[in-house]
A and B are shown apart, each in its own frame.
Chain A
Amino acid sequence: MDCDGFRKMISRRLDGELGDAELEKLERHLKVCDACRRCLESFGETVSIHKSLIEVSPPPSIVPSVMAAIEEPEPAWWVRGWLKVAVPAAALIVLLGLQVGGFLTETFVPPQQGDEVAVIELEYLDEYPPGSFGDVLVMASEGGGDEER
């Protein structure tokens, strides 16, 4: 094994992850290799500095903040799933409603319309087959009742 292989073992040794056989092999190499002894020393230093860092106390706000946040229950999965479908669907319905509403408004209820205009437009609808949407609108404009038709 070359020195690079032994240095990887040095790293594992510092973490207590070397088996007895490997440990013995590494010790034998360290006795004869200055460079790897220096490596053990410098790697060992990084570990001892890290271990010497004090454990800081957490800010006292953490527990109350976390508890306040989890008081608000997250919607259950089926509500979340339903919302995923329902929200876009509702948006689509509103959008379609606006489109249809806009179409109807433009076609049948122009601003400051005269009765004449409305009648002409409704006569156009009169050509719709009986029982259709246009038919219903015509009947409504004529004051309901189907005796005429």
Chain B
Amino acid sequence: MSDDVSLMLRASRGDRKAFRSLVERHQQSVYNFFLRTTGHPEDAEDLTQQLFINLYRSAGRYKPTASFRTFMYRIASNLAVSFARSRHRRDGVSLDQMLDEGREPPRHRLHDDPAAGAEWSELEEAYLAALAELPADWRTAVELRVGRQLSYKEIAQVMGKSVSAVESILFRARERLAEKLEPFKE
């Protein structure tokens, strides 16, 4: 039994100390997942907190047969996708508009947050802007695969889709991302 699974089982019996260890172990991964799916540090912070609260409350439904990471990212993906649906993106200007107007690619919001301490190259900025323009479930799939290193099978379980649907989403997302990055390559 992995550490995560035994901590989660203890948490399901109301052991808050065990749950605290789980939060400490996974908060960075989850925070970065939300940072890249929402593009905003404040939203990422709110959603990370919400995820762990939901996780604690659903601990009783956790079965050790399911991978802990799959269980956790299933809740996280639902939060990310419903968050995107519930709210208009904060940035009003699209990447295409900026290119049309001959403007520099956006200084991504992650850049504005000194606490986040992130420094992005111009290409990374353009990539993040292109990622932000993808449909929420495509963006989530890309981050689960490339950022969180989940397999296709795990992503399929997390997102409640078939493996071939996941393949197809990732393929179309890459076509779109590559196309959007084309103007930024020397």
List residues of chain A with CB under 8 Å of any chain B CB: 7-8, 11-12, 14-15, 17, 39, 42-43, 45-47, 49-59, 61-63, 65-67, 69-71, 74
Nearest-CB distance from A65 to chain B (Å)?
5
- B182 at interface, CB cutoff 8 A: yes
List residues of chain B with CB under 8 Å of any chain A CB: 16, 19-20, 23-24, 27-32, 35-36, 41, 45, 48-49, 52-53, 56-57, 110, 115-120, 123-124, 127-128, 131, 142-143, 145-147, 151-152, 167-168, 170-171, 174-175, 177-178, 181-182, 185
- Complex interface: chain A residues within 8 A of B115 (CB): 59
Nearest neighbor of A54 in chain B, beta-carbon distance: B118
Nearest-CB distance from A55 to chain B (Å)?
5
Is A52 a contact of B124 with CB atoms below 8 Å? yes
Is B110 a contact of A46 with CB atoms below 8 Å? no
Is A11 a contact of B35 with CB atoms below 8 Å? no
Is B27 a contact of A53 with CB atoms below 8 Å? no
Given known pairs A56-B32, A70-B56, the reply for A50 and B170 (CB within 8 Å) is no
Nearest-CB distance from A75 to chain B (Å)?
11
Nearest-CB distance from B162 to chain A (Å)?
14
User: What would 26 A/B residue contacts be, using CB atoms closer than 8 Å?
Assistant: A11-B167, A11-B170, A11-B174, A17-B152, A39-B178, A42-B178, A46-B177, A49-B181, A53-B36, A53-B120, A53-B124, A54-B118, A55-B29, A56-B28, A56-B110, A57-B117, A59-B115, A61-B45, A62-B48, A63-B24, A63-B27, A66-B52, A67-B16, A67-B23, A69-B49, A71-B16
